[in-house]
Amino acid sequence: MRIVVLAGGTGSAKLLRGLQGEVEEFTVISNVGDNFWHKGLFICPDIDIALYTLAGVADTVKGWGIEKDTFNVLAQLAALGEETWFGLGDKDLATHIFRTVQLSRGRRLGAVTSDLARRLGVRQDVMPCTDDSLETHVVTIEEGVEETLHLQEFWVRKRGQPEVKDVVYVGAEKAVANPKALAALEAAERIILCPANPVTSILPILAVRGFRDAIENSKARRVAVSPMIGFGPVSGPAGKMMKGLGHGSDSLSVARLYKGLLDCMIIDSSDAIQKGAIEREGTQVSLGSTLMSNREKERELASSVLSA
Ligand code: FO1
């Protein structure tokens, strides 16, 4: 079965690992809105967590970077008086240096990502939704002062504290969809939207021209796993962001965001009460266990995504 997965962040990574246990081949279309230039390096968190997870080297405790990594460079940067709010591990830095050098030679992000995947021993296709610049910026209010921050500044440097007034996808209008990603969606028999932050991991992909149409018009079975359990996300700023944009932070609100794109949404059994309302939105609902608290639950959820 030709499977295409839209992914970004830690929840997605767990499902990707679960899928690896169920099927050999699948294509991952990664969000790029988290990407940013930092200390002269081009950092791609959602691409890297997919690559590291599929390579079996992800730090599953922190939820980012490479397992058992050291932070000697960061410590020395601090000793030099540099800001070190973004935790760059020594091995992780090799990825950023490799990617930045390749990009500086004019190679496109998709080609560099494929190269990294191969060198890390990843057998699945992992690709950015676009090779072009697309950054998620958060319009925040803090003590009455409005400030626009890159997602990483908001989430990591400011620990997601400021109030969210808006979220913008800078570059989305000009970004060209990765043709390999559109082709994969065209040929897909199953399209999976991972349990990711809808505002910062899925909507930035859909903001790139071509993706919404490709999914809406696809003949594939389209299944999403809700990132929400109850009235909040399993982890991260999704709830705060959804509310900041005037949405609810439950599965029904996510189903409304993805209206027209899904055949089925898997929600946690504890949210069965929302089933009727979501089905009235035109999306079938399958009840499952969406809290992937161990490897077995990752595989169980992956299995239900493949059969939903
Ligand atoms: N997230 C953090 O909360 N703190 C960090 O210090 C941090 C470092 C980091 C380094 C490389 C990388 O690829 C991701 C990193 N992340 C960190 C996660 C990153 O902020 C993600 O974009 C978000 O967690 C959302 O996916």
* Structure token pair of residue 280: 């009235």
* Structure token pair of residue 157: 């440097």
How far away, in angstroms, is 87 Cα from ligand 1 center? 7
Specify the pTM: 0.97
Would the CB of 92 count as within 6 Å of ligand 1? Answer: yes
- Predicted pLDDT of residue 63: 93
**Residues with Cβ < 8 Å from 267, sequence gap 6 or more?**
226, 228, 251, 274, 275, 278, 285, 286, 287, 288, 290
Sequential pLDDT tens for the chain (308 residues): 999 999 999 999 999 999 999 999 999 999 999 999 999 999 999 999 999 999 999 999 999 999 999 999 999 999 999 999 999 999 999 999 999 999 999 999 999 999 999 999 999 999 999 999 999 999 999 899 999 999 999 999 999 999 999 999 999 999 999 999 999 999 999 999 999 999 999 999 999 999 999 999 999 999 999 999 998 888 888 899 999 999 999 999 999 999 999 999 999 999 999 999 999 999 999 999 999 999 999 999 999 999 99
How far away, in angstroms, is 64 Cα from ligand 1 center? 6
Would the CB of 231 count as within 6 Å of ligand 1? Answer: no
How far away, in angstroms, is 98 Cα from ligand 1 center? 18
Do residues 21 and 299 touch, judged by C-beta distance below 8 A?
Answer: yes
Phi-psi group of 171: left, alpha or beta (phi > 0 → left; psi -120 to 50 → alpha; rest → beta): left
For 99, list phi and psi in degrees, rounded to 5: -65, -45
Would the CB of 64 count as within 6 Å of ligand 1? Answer: yes
Q: How many helices (H) and strands (E) in the chain? A: 13, 14
Report the alpha-carbon distance of residue 28 to residue 34 in Å, rounded: 16
* Structure token pair of residue 281: 């939105």
Report the alpha-carbon distance of residue 166 to residue 95 in Å, rounded: 31
**Residues with Cβ < 8 Å from 21, sequence gap 6 or more?**
295, 298, 299, 302
Q: Name the residue of 69, 86, 154 to mutate for ligand 1: max ligand atoms within 8 A of Cβ.
A: 86
Would the CB of 86 count as within 6 Å of ligand 1? Answer: yes
Q: Name the residue of 156, 197, 205 to mutate for ligand 1: max ligand atoms within 8 A of Cβ.
A: 156
| Residue with token string 């050098």 | 101
- Predicted pLDDT of residue 246: 93
